[in-house]
Amino acid sequence: MLGIARAALFAVIPMEMLFVILLVAGVPLPGPVIVVAELIVASMLVLEAVTAYRLFRAERRGGADRRAALRTTFHLLVPLPVRRLVGFELKGMVSAFLWITRRRDGVPPGATAAPYTREQTSVQLVLLSVLVVETVGIELLLRALGVPYGVRLAVLVADAYGVVYVLMIIAACVTRPHVVTTEELRVRYGMYFDLRVPRQLISSVRLSRNYNESGMITVADRRLSVVVSSQTNVVIELTEPVTVVRPLGGRAEATTIRFFTDTPEALLGALRPSPHHSAP
């Protein structure tokens, strides 16, 4: 039942949104079609509710308190990739607020922040401009073609959300830099990636520029690469592997970390022990 409920969760929301768009657009739908569709949606919702109740009761009988039971039920019912995507949205909104208020996330007093936005900001701004022009152009085109208001509104909302999402990505990259503290190195990429590495696991740090990296966050042969504009410039070697959580929840082990920062010398200086600390 859990597998069926998860599949229904993916189907019910798009189906309901499709019917709302068609109705708002004034598309005539036969009465029996609407009734059957709503019965299907209602049945799926009932299935979700029954499955959630059974999972919750099972957790409560196992001794979990109400909050823990609700959290476990949510995790079991909603697939991990969906939870991660929702988390990206929330982090993006928080990052936009931090950007507006000129604050940063996870940079405590005394820590060294290492930004990584310089090489990608121009590309992000070009993409943002293209999306804005596309939003206005498509709206004008649809009006000229006489497309119903409901369909135009749905397209406009989707395009506007694309603009907002790019703004959230830019804000997240600005407000969530890499961070070095006395306890750890935090390697990040916007709202998508956050790896905490205890400093005692770092065996060496060095500057090594690579301009031919592929992907954004990849792990191969226990080597993690967090790439900005196809570049990395810092390499960290570890004494033992750390667990890397990929953006959609996949896990891997890494003993080498390659990433990019605008200020590699400052980051390396913060990671290397000072003579005072290294003296016997």
Q: Which pLDDT tens digit goes with each residue over 171-224?
A: 999 999 999 999 999 999 999 999 999 999 999 999 999 999 988 999 999 999
- For residue 3, give the amino acid letter: G
- The answer to whether residues 191 and 265 belong to one domain is yes
**Claim: this prediction has a pTM higher than 0.85:** no
Burial class (CB in 10 A: 0-12, 13-18, 19+), 230: middle
- The answer to whether residues 200 and 269 belong to one domain is yes
- Stretches where the chain sits below pLDDT 70 are 1-31, 33-38, 40-41, 45, 273-280
Helix, coil or strand: residue 202:
strand
- The answer to whether residues 72 and 112 belong to one domain is no
Structural domain containing residue 187: 180-278
Question: Would residue 52 count as lying in a domain?
Answer: yes
- The answer to whether residues 153 and 213 belong to one domain is no
* Alpha-carbon Rg for the chain in angstroms: 24
**What pLDDT, on a 0 to 100 scale, did the predictor assign at position 276?**
46
Measured CA to CA, the distance from residue 8 to residue 31 in angstroms comes to 24
Domain-ending residue, one of 175, 191, 222: 175
- The answer to whether residues 118 and 72 belong to one domain is no
Question: Would residue 84 count as lying in a domain?
Answer: no
DSSP character for 111? P
- The answer to whether residues 190 and 269 belong to one domain is yes
Task: Report the Cα 104 to chain-centroid distance in Å.
Answer: 17
DSSP character for 147? -
Q: How many domains does one find in the chain?
A: 3
- The answer to whether residues 221 and 267 belong to one domain is yes
- The answer to whether residues 167 and 191 belong to one domain is no
Question: Would residue 42 count as lying in a domain?
Answer: yes
